[in-house]
Structure 1
Amino acid sequence: MNIPPVTPSQVRSMLLLRREIALLDLRHEAAFATGHPLFAANMPVGRIALEAEARLPRKDAPIVVYDAGEGLVAEAAARFAGLGYSDVRQLEGGLSAWRKAGFEIFIDVNSYAKAFGELVESRRHTPSLSAEEVAALLARRADIRILDVRRPDEYATMNIPGSVSVPGAELVLRAGDVAPDPATTIVVNCAGRTRSIIGTQSLINAGIANKVVALRNGTMGWTLANQALEHGADRHGGIGQLEGARDKARDVAYRAGVKHLSTSELALLESDATRTLYRFDVRPLKDYTAGHIPAFRHYPGGQLVQEIDMAAPVRGARIVLTDDKGVRADMTASWLAQMGWEVYVLEGVYDGALDAGPPQILPKPDPSHRYRRPYEGTEASREAMQAYFDWEYGLVEQLKRDGTHGFFVI
């Protein structure tokens, strides 16, 4: 099978010019996490049949595949061809050629979202407190509320004692209910750094009256500081004053350059066969299951920002978000826009026909092929946690050396 080659320099040019490209690493996730280009997405060759049509919705989008010498390219190209994909090329020389060209290699997963989070903190000087400082505030019963922005299942596994689960995109919608007194200090935490930085800055960008700080280094930092974690908690924040939250979120989205669409304008985007279009419903699972717009995939907003490489591997594609209350879509869109995406929010569509039922869920990979995140579960080693932070602290400088990101920070 003849697989046309494309050089590392040509791939870099496509990224710089923001042309559509899906740069796909065909190795298992554990190998992918050892090193890859910034905007590479992981799609193991054995999962192409499971994942391709959900993650690569346009069959003639430019796809560039590579491995690190394992011989996976020919099999991947055949599988894509069998599914009807018509523009599949191979990175000439694979990952080693990318290295030899002098281009940056990024480790870990969700790397460019994590690098973006570090850039946000660097540019906006996002305020934070150490685990020891937060523990001291709790010990003296200070007027603080800790908001955990991770997925509900992560929160239930382990959490900062007394914290409340408010997944990232829900913050502006629910912070007013959790901390109604403007004198209350809000502490935002995740497992590590990215989601707490983005969550804290979301509340600051929205102009919330409370003082807001991140828990520096999240539950990993809490563990490294020898603080006890709680397990099995089930506290969840409710929705506060909707109108105020909607206005705040709309203003943040406007400042980030987010566009709003009607259903007729969405139809025009859908009719453009030359561009990839992703459609995501960013509400919680319960809301999506009760009723959602046909053809919109479920992806809670806070996770979408961190996992955008997994959700939308075609860099340069268009993204449309929907949310019946508007707040979550606007806040999520504001971050995706700053990450260089052409992103839209769909308005006024929940009074029509909706589909009910759970979302499509892709089968999980074999555990032996997964990269074990140092913030997963309760048994990660202290050495792995510290190594993770050492890497993350260096991401801003690595972004500078790479030079392809195109991020901006409002």
Structure 2
Amino acid sequence: MAQPITPAQLDDLFNGSAPFALVDVREAGEYNASHIPGSSLMPRRMLEFDLPVAIPHIDSLTVLCDDDGQRVAKAVATVEAMGYSNVGWLDGGVNRWMSLDYPTEWGVNVPSKDFGEKVEVVHHVPEIDAIELRSRMDLGEKMVILDTRTPEEYRRFCIPGGQSLPGGELALRITDVTADLDPDTTVVINCAGRTRSIIGTRILQRMGLDRDIVGLKNGTSGWVLAGYELESGADRDELPQVSAEGRAAAEAYADRCAAEDGVDFLDVVGLERLAERSRSETVYFIDVRTAEEYAAGHIPGFRWFPGGQCVQRSDDVAVVKNAPLVFCCDGRARAALTGSWYRQLGHGEVYALNGGTEAWAVAGKSLESGRNVGARFDGSIGGAGEPELVTAARNSVPSITAQELESDRPDAILFVDTSQDFSRGHVPGAHWVPRGWLEWQVAEHVASEDARVVVTCGDGRQSLLAAATLQSMGFTNVGVLDGGVASWRAAGLPVETGLSGVMRTPADVVFSGPDRTYADMQNYLRWEEQLGDKYAAAD
């Protein structure tokens, strides 16, 4: 049975070595405004989908928190219904924690951002600002601009002429990227802001690449603030093949980093021992290759998280504190280098599988294909499958087609995904009632428990869970739009856009990149840079 955790007890957990997780179940905007350092964001509406991957062992101590205790009680009930047996909640929430003078911070993925600023200050990572870069581009100087974000981010917008090379691939492929470049060609590393640019530049700096290397200060945000246009729809994202020379250089570098930073190499037998440990505690098994490589064949039980993002979002990857981490690739370079960053971030027990998937296959073991990102070694949780609570809701909630909803309108249509999803398109006349606040806000739009209500969302999953909640509250005539707004669009029916009818200022979304206002970009970048001030003072 779930137990309250006092702020003092939580502080003791942070200062100890026992494994535990602190999960903040509020929405992203609320978390961004203020949260407890060391907490991981997982909005209440995502628990059924994300918790089994984030906390793979159901006996792990899982502490939930919100601001004042309202929503956390509902979240505790959900987590226990999912089978978790060691659940607690922060008594009084973040508000009481703060009132007792325990620390809070703002922002998302703060551990990696703070670490990035430390890396820049301590290692004097070279950088170039947007104005100087543009001037050098206009002069026709020799340079190659490498974008270390995900391919999806890159395709949306990039520095003109830049090419995609995700951060986790840099060390492995840089030898081949630069093989045909003149020795005086400058390598420019960029991301959307600061962290991935700093980390990418530091990778090449530490590797000892024999040419001029600089990171673009403030990334694409700095480019926009300098008054320049970004390129959209770029397709220069095909990764170069890895030559024997390139692999040898990357592996030599990875071996050095592993030795210096304390990453232990595992063989297949050692991996199987850790797999056995994972039956009684949380152990993270993470494949850091590209999505295509992972889908083509991966070791059962390994979750996919590309290396660069693995570092950028370390608090989303290692949600359980003090848990072992095992990284895998097709050899050892990418795994060991990701592990070295985690050791530098302060994680204690970090491993790389020596030989990766190839060693596993040579040992006569089978690989899995596809994107089953949540499977345990014993196969008990399948990320590609449907969560049990969603299946239960599907069996209890009637569904209707888009055509049926269009021809026979109910008393109320609710949309329970994020405000951003609602703004991008919803069934005309729908009311935005976020699932995290459903119990408290539904009465504003539904007159009585016997009113006919149809619940919608983007793809039909959140609406099933929301409808099941309404049934448990006593609503007797609840259905869902089968397939969500995606099916509505597919049927060729009109959608309504914008925040129509929304009377509260949404606090559920954190905008990034060019979606931010200029002022937000400026404040965000200044905040990131100021994280490094404490390291500058100690340098």
TM norm. shorter chain > 0.5: yes
Q: Which residue of 2 aligns with 1:235?
A: 236
Q: Which residue of 1 aligns with 2:323?
A: 317
Cα pair 1:206 1:251 within 8 Å, conserved: no
The answer to whether the aligner puts 1:220 opposite 2:221 as a matched pair is: yes
Structure 1 residues 75 and 125, CA gap change in structure 2 (3 angstroms): same
Structure 1 residues 365 and 212, CA gap change in structure 2 (3 angstroms): farther
**What residue identity is the alignment partner of 2:151?**
P
Q: Residue 343 of structure 1 is aligned with which of 350, 368, 377?
A: 350
Partners of 2:527 and 2:303 lie apart in 1 by 32
Partners of 1:358 and 1:24 lie apart in 2 by 25
Superposition TM-score, scaled by structure 1 size? 0.91
The answer to whether the aligner puts 1:194 opposite 2:195 as a matched pair is: yes
Q: Residue 265 of structure 1 is aligned with which of 263, 270, 294?
A: 270
Q: Which residue of 1 aligns with 2:44?
A: 45
Partners of 2:137 and 2:534 lie apart in 1 by 36
Structure 1 residues 89 and 175, CA gap change in structure 2 (3 angstroms): same
State the number of aligned residues.
399
1:245 Cα offset (Å): 1.6
**Does the residue aligned with 1:136 lie in a helix, a strand or coil?**
helix
Match runs of 1:10-29 below 5 Å: 10-29=9-28
Match runs of 1:141-220 below 5 Å: 141-180=140-179, 181=181, 182-220=183-221
Q: Which has the higher contact order (CA 8 A, sep 6+)?
A: 1
Superposition TM-score, scaled by structure 2 size? 0.70
Partners of 2:535 and 2:310 lie apart in 1 by 21
Q: Which residue of 2 aligns with 1:404?
A: none
Q: Which residue of 1 aligns with 2:78?
A: 79
Q: Percent of pairs identical after alignment? A: 36
Q: Which residue of 1 aligns with 2:418?
A: 366
For residues 225-273 of structure 1, give each alpha carbon's deviation from its aligned partner in whole angstroms, at most 9, with x where no partner exists. 1122111111134135211121112211221111110111112222225
For residues 191-221 of structure 1, give each alpha carbon's deviation from its aligned partner in whole angstroms, at most 9, with x where no partner exists. 0001001111111122222221110000000
**What residue identity is the alignment partner of 1:338?**
Q
Cα pair 1:115 1:399 within 8 Å, conserved: no
Partners of 2:160 and 2:141 lie apart in 1 by 14
Partners of 1:135 and 1:13 lie apart in 2 by 51
Q: Which residue of 2 aligns with 1:32?
A: 31
Partners of 1:50 and 1:286 lie apart in 2 by 23
Moved more, 90-99 or 366-375: 366-375
**Does the residue aligned with 2:83 lie in a helix, a strand or coil?**
coil
**Does the residue aligned with 2:326 lie in a helix, a strand or coil?**
strand
Partners of 1:40 and 1:121 lie apart in 2 by 25
1:398 Cα offset (Å): 7.4
Q: Which residue of 2 aligns with 1:284?
A: 290
Q: Which residue of 2 aligns with 1:384?
A: 520
Unaligned runs of 5+ residues in structure 1 are 401-408
Cα RMSD between the aligned structures?
A: 2.3
Partners of 1:232 and 1:325 lie apart in 2 by 32
**What residue identity is the alignment partner of 1:385?**
M
Partners of 1:164 and 1:370 lie apart in 2 by 33
Structure 1 residues 107 and 289, CA gap change in structure 2 (3 angstroms): same
The answer to whether the aligner puts 1:248 opposite 2:253 as a matched pair is: yes
For residues 339-360 of structure 1, give each alpha carbon's deviation from its aligned partner in whole angstroms, at most 9, with x where no partner exists. 1122110123423421111344
**What residue identity is the alignment partner of 1:204?**
Q
The answer to whether the aligner puts 1:393 opposite 2:534 as a matched pair is: no
Partners of 1:221 and 1:389 lie apart in 2 by 8
